[in-house]
Structure 1
Amino acid sequence: MVVEVVAGVGVLALLTVVPGPDMAVVTKRAVAWGWRDGLRTVGGIVCGLLVWGVLTVVGLAAVLAASATAYTVVKLAGAAYLVFLGAQSLLRSRRGRAVPAAVARAGAAKGSPWRTGLVSNVVNPKIAVFYTGLLPTLAPSGMPPQAGMALLVLLHGVLTLLWLGGYVLVLAKARVFFERPAVRRAMERLTGVVLIGFGVKVAASQP
């Protein structure tokens, strides 16, 4: 069973480190408002994973994954949210609304970073498809299926917390660089374009 758990963690780790909307959202918050805000965003993302994990264990996520209509509704909501976040970044960069360093270090921010991370994951139907399609095949055979999937969800949450949390701390180390107005505007524009790109990709995706 230990070997199966290690193998499952390996697959989850590979999927965790692949850049995606989560990393773009974290970059947006951390660069604009500081590392504390970035870590709170990571916390919201992990909570979003746990929400999908609970739904998967009780079988509700399978309904979403199997229903084309439900999948489309959640998919479009998620795509719209990512595009909204991207547009926010682009507008902020055009207006030159750079956040003062002291404010960023104090962790002040517009809106809740935790809610931003949570919503960006809860409205991502790909997680439902991933959990319902992959977790059952990775669950240790020596455990009841639901317990095995719950264990993998918790491990995935820990991996995500460590990976994105470490990423935020790396950004914090380069704080002086990112606090330069020109660099901050460039990062706002870059993350805005990336988020809109992910939104379009999510909208065009299939189950």
Structure 2
Amino acid sequence: MLVAVTTFTVASVLVVLLPGPDTLVVIRNLMAGGPRLGLRASLGAMTGLAVWVVAAALGLSALLTASHDGYLALRIVGAAYLCWMGFATLRAKPHSSPDVVAEPRRSLIGTGYTAGLLTDLLNPKVGVFFVSFLPSFIPEGAPVVWTSLLLGGIFVVLTAVYYGALLALSGPVMRWMADGPVRRWVDRVTGLVLIAFGVRMAVEP
């Protein structure tokens, strides 16, 4: 079991370091509302990951994968959500003062914890990832459900460490891009990448 956990941890570190839609949403909230909103988004994303881990351990994600219509519907809704956030980011107006970070207007699905949560929950590929990734590290004879929960918990913890480092290092970067041309270009790039993630989710099987 120790070898399996160690191998899984090393592989998970490499996966966590690859930026995905959830990481980009955390960065988007970080730019829009500072570390406080970035923290909320990261907590939401980790909650979404935890839900998918439990679903994968209980076999619910495999059931979703087997249901073509359910998978397609969730994928299209997730893609539309990412594109919506991308367009909202492109339209965002930076705050006039580099020393003040404005809290964005309250939105039902656009900011903070809810944004991070929905970004993961509406992405069925996260569930498929856990269904295909976790079993390859479960030792023969080990209890599948409990071992899956253990490995999935390790993945969530590693993600939390990554987000924590991102938030801790955000101060100087936030001051650098708080206003002016740099902030506008960052918003444009972030918005376009979110839209690209959404389009990719919609067209890829």
User: Fold match, TM over 0.5?
Assistant: yes
Confirm whether residue 109 of structure 1 aligns to residue 104 of structure 2: yes
Aligned equivalent of 1:139: 138
Q: Distance in 2 between matches of 1:45 and 1:35?
A: 15
Asked if structure 1 preserves the Cα contact closer than 8 Å seen for 2:94 and 2:179, the reply is no
Distance in 1, matches of 2:163 and 2:141, equals 31
**More divergent stretch after superposition (125-134 vs 193-202):** 125-134
| Structure 2 residue ranges without an equivalent (≥5) | none
Q: Take 2:140 and 2:195, find their aligned partners in 1: how far apart are those partners?
A: 41
Shift of 1:116: 0.4
Deviation at 1:100, TM superposition (A): 4.7
Q: Who is 1:165 aligned against?
A: 164
How many positions carry a matched residue from both structures? 201
Q: Tell me which residue corresponds to 1:199.
A: 198
Q: Is the 8 A contact 2:94 2:183 kept in 1?
A: no
- Report if aligned partners of 1:45, 1:120 keep a CA contact under 8 Å in 2: yes
Confirm or deny: 8 A CA contact 1:4 1:139 kept in the other structure: yes
Which has the higher mean CA deviation after the structures are superposed, 23-32 or 77-86?
23-32
Contact map agreement 1:53 1:150 (CA 8 A) in 2: yes
Q: 1:21 corresponds to which residue?
A: 21
Letter in 1 for 2:55: L
1:98 to 67, 75, 95: 95
Instruction: Please say if residues 98 and 185 of structure 1, whose CA atoms lie closer than 8 Å, have aligned partners that are also in contact.
Output: no
Runs of 4+ more than 6 Å apart: none
Superposition RMSD in Å: 1.7
Q: Is 2:147 the counterpart of 1:152? A: no
Q: Which protein, 1 or 2, shows the higher relative CO under an 8 Å CA cutoff with sep ≥ 6?
A: 1
Residue ranges of structure 1 left out of the alignment (5+ in a row):
none
Q: For the structure 1 residues 199 and 140, does the alpha-carbon distance in structure 2 shift closer, same or farther, using more than 3 Å as the test?
A: same
Distance in 2 between residues matched to 1:168 and 1:198, nearest whole Å: 22
The residue that corresponds to 1:78 in the other structure is: 78
- How many angstroms apart in 2 are the aligned matches of 1:156 and 1:75? 23
**1:65 is matched with which residue?**
65
The structural deviation recorded for 1:164 is 2.1
Q: For residues 34 and 83 of structure 1, do their structure 2 counterparts lie closer, same or farther at Cα, with a shift above 3 Å needed?
A: same
Instruction: Name whichever structure is richer in helix by fraction.
Output: 1
Q: Say whether the 8 Å CA contact 2:41–2:112 is kept in structure 1.
A: yes
Instruction: Give the aligned partner of residue 46 of structure 1.
Output: 46
* Partner in structure 2 of residue 6 of structure 1: 6
Residues 137, 99 of structure 1: CA spacing in aligned structure 2 closer, same or farther, 3 A cutoff?
farther
Task: State the alpha-carbon separation in 2 of the partners of residues 193 and 83 from structure 1.
Answer: 9
**Secondary structure class of the residue paired with 1:19:** coil
Give 1:98's aligned amino acid: H
Question: Would you say the 8 A contact 1:33–1:103 is kept in 2?
Answer: no
Instruction: Indicate the residue corresponding to 1:178 in structure 2.
Output: 177
1:33 aligns with 2:33: yes
Structure 1 residues 103 and 177, CA, compared in 2 at 3 Å: closer, same or farther? Answer: closer
Q: Could you tell me the TM-score, scaled by structure 2's length?
A: 0.91
Q: 1:174 to 1:77 in 2, by over 3 A?
A: same
